[in-house]
Amino acid sequence: MGLFNFFTQEIAMDLGTANTLIIHNDEVVVNEPSIVALNRNNMKEVLAVGKKALMMHEKTHESIRTVRPLKDGVIADFNAAELMIRELIKMIYPKKPLFPPSWRMVICIPSSITEVEKRAVRDSAEQAGAKEVYMIHEPMAAALGIGIDVEEPVGNMIIDIGGGTTGITVIALAGIVCDQSIRIAGDEFTADIMEALRRYHSLLIGERTAEQIKIQVGAAMKDLDNPPDDLPVNGRDLVTGIPKQIMVSYQEIAEALDKSIFKIEEAILKALETTPPELAADIYRRGLYLTGGGALLRGLDKRLSAKIKLPVHVADDPLKSVVRGTGLALKNYQRFPFIMR
């Protein structure tokens, strides 16, 4: 058995709609966008994955196809997902090892996932070379990654705003007590920005430009303490059809994102309504924890705490908290009861 363990390597994977992160030997070795570029004539041939494929996204000709295999947190394109996972695992060892190790993997899944979608994750991981596949719910992993002791009988509310879904979960005693999941998150914000620029400036921009706007000047409130500078945005004028540049301020983006953030607020209120009273008392004392890429939106914590009248804490490195928690779960995969075979 000792020899077998020598060839079994452990990795923790956060398979997200927007980014996929892999932890191996306690450090994040892969942090890449979840996108893969395939050859249209031979769909099994991967041309690029991660950042390289993102460079190609929306700039391809007819023999290249860029695919984002995950939609709303679940696998939408099975073949592409498997190829992407396989390529990302290859990145861990740049040099090809003599004996390819068999992997023990812990993968995060959204808590609102169905059995079929769970099977898809497991199958694509096994196709990509995993011997043992364990699953952990994302809010659990996020709570572990923030540094909350999930096993104590105290309620904690985790709001994970990812790329495809926003999960709002109350955790106590190493289990999920109540859980709301809505399909409004980073991708939806990006779409809102594209729509706003089209409507108010009649400027057509791509997904990647909208994503850049969201990162550079994205905001949830119209009055920030230290506002970002206006951003020049290039795109195609819908009236003349000629490329043009406009300046975009954070107030405009806050206006564009307002509806989607309102829906997230509604979902949080709904989740708080279904929380048992004892746990609600704990949440009043502890506040809410924001994690995921959406937590980086400027002023979001302030806006939520103004609406819900509870303290809102943003995790230190919200993009990595889920994968860090998954790494912790991987180390103690026998001990934690919430890790699913």
Residue 180 counted as an annotated binding residue: no
Is 114 one of the annotated binding-site residues?
A: no
Residues 297-321 as b/e (b if ≥16 CB within 10 A, e otherwise) read bbbbbebbbebbebebebbeebbbb
The rounded distance, in Å, linking the Cα atoms of 187 and 295 is: 14
| Nearest by Cα to 141 from 289, 317, 19, 324 | 324
Please work out, in degrees rounded to the nearest 5, the angle formed at the alpha carbon of residue 192 by the alpha carbons of 187 and 196.
150
Q: Is 213 annotated as a binding residue?
A: yes
- 261: Cβ–Cβ under 8 A, 6 or more apart, which residues? 220, 300, 303
169 annotated as a binding-site residue: no
Residue 120 annotated as binding site: no
Residue 39 assigned as binding residue = no
Query: In angstroms, rounded to a whole number, what is the distance separating the alpha carbons of residues 1 and 202?
Result: 65
Between β-strands 312-314 and 166-172, what pairing exists: parallel, antiparallel or unpaired?
unpaired
What one-character DSSP code corresponds to residue 59? -
Q: Which candidate, 31, 39, 122, places its Cα nearest to that of 78? A: 122
17 is in an annotated binding site: yes
* Residue 150 to residues 54, 184, 229, 271, 282, Cα–Cα distance (Å): 36, 26, 40, 19, 13
Whether 212 has a binding-site annotation, put simply, is yes
**214 labelled binding-site residue:** yes
274 annotated as a binding-site residue: no
The answer on whether 295 is annotated among ligand-binding residues is: yes
Six token digits for residue 236: 């195609």
To the question of whether residue 246 is assigned a binding role by annotation, the answer is: no
Query: Hey, how many other C-beta atoms are within 10 angstroms of the C-beta on 86?
Result: 17
Annotated binding-site residues for ATP read 17-19, 163-165, 211-214, 293-296
Q: Known binding site: residues?
A: 17-19, 163-165, 211-214, 293-296
